[in-house]
Structure 1
Amino acid sequence: MKTYYIKNALRVLLGLFMTVAGIGHLTFQREEFLAQVPRWLPTDPAFMDFVVLSSGIVEITLGLLMIILVKHQAKVGLALAVFYILIFPGNISQYVNEIDAFGLDTDRKRLIRLFFQPVLILWALWSTGGWKYFLSKVKK
């Protein structure tokens, strides 16, 4: 029973984190998030801004769903894990292109940041039961 409360607390915490990060995309951290748009994508400023804004909307949506859509939390957790995988190239781009953002102003800091993405993926899957849900669907 204790694990249940810990999972729920971590699910809600991750949902809050995602919601705040999404709001940051749209407002006070917009420039920082522009630094994470992979440089292999078109570098037209309007396109890059679109990427930041649309990913922010996705983050807000997933964050709120993590908090309120309890009956479907496994599906939401799985969707969030996929989202983390999809945005990982932006973190790699920031490292490879030596782009300073979010206080990541050295190669070492940017490299360490790369190892946190798997943690977020596991967090989303574990706190929601997303991994068990995925495995149950694969076995069918």
Structure 2
Amino acid sequence: MNTYIKTSLVQNIFRILLAIFMIYAGFSHLTFNRVDFQAQVPDWVPMEKDLVVILSGIVEMALGLGLALWKNHRVTFGWALAIFFVLIFPGNISQYLDGDDAFGALNSDRARLIRLFFQPVLIVWALWSSGAWKAWRQSKKDAQINK
């Protein structure tokens, strides 16, 4: 699969916004929101909650930086970020089911439920803005042509 796909100005703006969001979120994992992020780590995860928060924060910052700066590998970073969003979704579901408050705004079942619907938006955002969807579609076309 191509690691570089030409993207539009709008896609690039949204990619940079997502990258900034990820870098900020990762930084907040390591600093001022550390305890709040621990509320998202399900009890069944076989690691200390604080370690999970630290490691996920580092991963978020790395993905954000890669998405913003590594032009020839944006597609790879887009896929990696989408997979990351899928992997952390059980934590969001756990937070909803357990009724754990966090961040001040996630202080009701309704707010936690609404938040669940934003995870697919983040997945689509990562795939679209990085050109990963376009690269995947192009690889399918190329496969059809080469048959």
Pairwise same-fold verdict (TM > 0.5) = yes
CA distance in 1: counterparts of 2:24 and 2:139, whole angstroms: 31
Matched residues, number: 135
TM-score (norm 2): 0.86
1:15 aligns with one of 15, 19, 34? 19
Correspondence list, 1:62-73, <5 A: 62-73=63-74
TM-score (norm 1): 0.90
Correspondence list, 1:1-140, <5 A: 4-42=8-46, 47-102=48-103, 103-136=105-138, 140=143
Q: Percent identity?
A: 56
Deviations 1:35-78 (A, max 9, x none): 00012224x7xx11110000000000000011101111111101
Distance change >3 Å, CA 41–CA 67, structure 1 → 2: same
Q: Identify unmatched segments of 5+ residues in structure 1.
A: none
| RMSD between aligned residues | 1.6
Give the conservation status (yes or no) of the 8 Å contact 1:12–1:67.
Answer: yes
Amino acid at match of 1:127: S
Dislocated runs of 4+, deviation >2 Å = 132-140
Amino acid at match of 1:33: F
Give 1 or 2 for the bigger CA radius of gyration. Answer: 2
Deviations 1:85-139 (A, max 9, x none): 0000000000000000022111110000000000000000000111233345567
Give the conservation status (yes or no) of the 8 Å contact 1:75–1:133.
Answer: no
Give the conservation status (yes or no) of the 8 Å contact 1:84–1:117.
Answer: yes
Q: Identify unmatched segments of 5+ residues in structure 2.
A: 1-6
